[in-house]
Amino acid sequence: MIEKMDKRVRAAQFRARLADAMAQTGTTQSELSRRIGVDRSTISQLLADEGARLPNAHVVGACASVLGVSADWLLSLSDRRESAAELMAGSLSLTEAPRALVDEKIFDWHKEAAGYKIRHVPASLPDMLKTRALIEWEYKPHLGRTADQAIGASEDRLQWMRGSASDYEICIPIYELYCFAQGIGYYHDLDAGVRREQIDFLLDLCDQLYPRLRIYLFDAKRLYSAPITIFGPLLCVFYAGGHYMAFRDSDRIATFTGHFDMLVREADLSARHFPKHLKRLRDFVR
């Protein structure tokens, strides 16, 4: 809701903000008048008039465009002086997502959010909770001859993430773990011994890290989520295959935090019951 403001106050603030923007950019009255297509006397009047009049929308918009500020800011309708394009550029970024365990960008985001709760919906099983054998099976085809070197370099980062001060909440579709245990779908050629070792590893991690690590299982037939990670109040990141799409504006972060919290509330298996479910799945491994 826009706060009501006396016309004289709004006009006075417009003059002050216009003068401030001109000073910040080093724009003279003559230059501004030339670039927006009005007489210099018009700019002088805008800056000197002590009445309640405001310029028309065309002049306000032209001044905002030339000075690189928001028209809403000039009119005291917003406290953000950035233009809409600058706000969008600052709140949304698109980053390449190499096929790697933990690339520099992901690791930087985790370090930035150290101490905050991190909410995560992985594309498969969470990389930070995988055994070396599973990592080698999954990543060697993409990393080629550098697989051992890349995996070795990533293990330190994964260890840092496991030992960081952040709490981790992870939501996984029930079918993902079922397919893993059965060795079907994505995991159809994964050795049973690797699958059994991975389940035992998850059980150990849950025992060591709960409640700082909480894993929930939801039914994807009722709820859907794209792969996403929410780094506290700082940013949320979607994984879109070849790219990460990262948002930093608080409204979108709040929206997707609400989406994640719904997955937790509607989860068929809570973090407390997750180990018991894992033990049942282990019996299906053949």
Each residue's pLDDT tens digit, 8-65: 888 899 999 999 999 999 999 999 999 999 999 999 988 987 777 888 988 999 999 8
* Cα separation, 137 vs 143, whole angstroms: 11
C-alpha span between 77 and 201 (Å, rounded): 55
Residue of 169, 161, 148, 149 whose CA lies nearest to 107: 161
Band (pLDDT 50/70/90 cuts) for residue 140 is confident
**Position 2 pLDDT exceeds 50:** no
- Picking from 164, 47, 69, 168, the residue whose alpha carbon sits closest to that of residue 119 is 168
Look at residue 81 in the predicted model and tell me its pLDDT. 72
Full-prediction pTM beyond 0.85? no
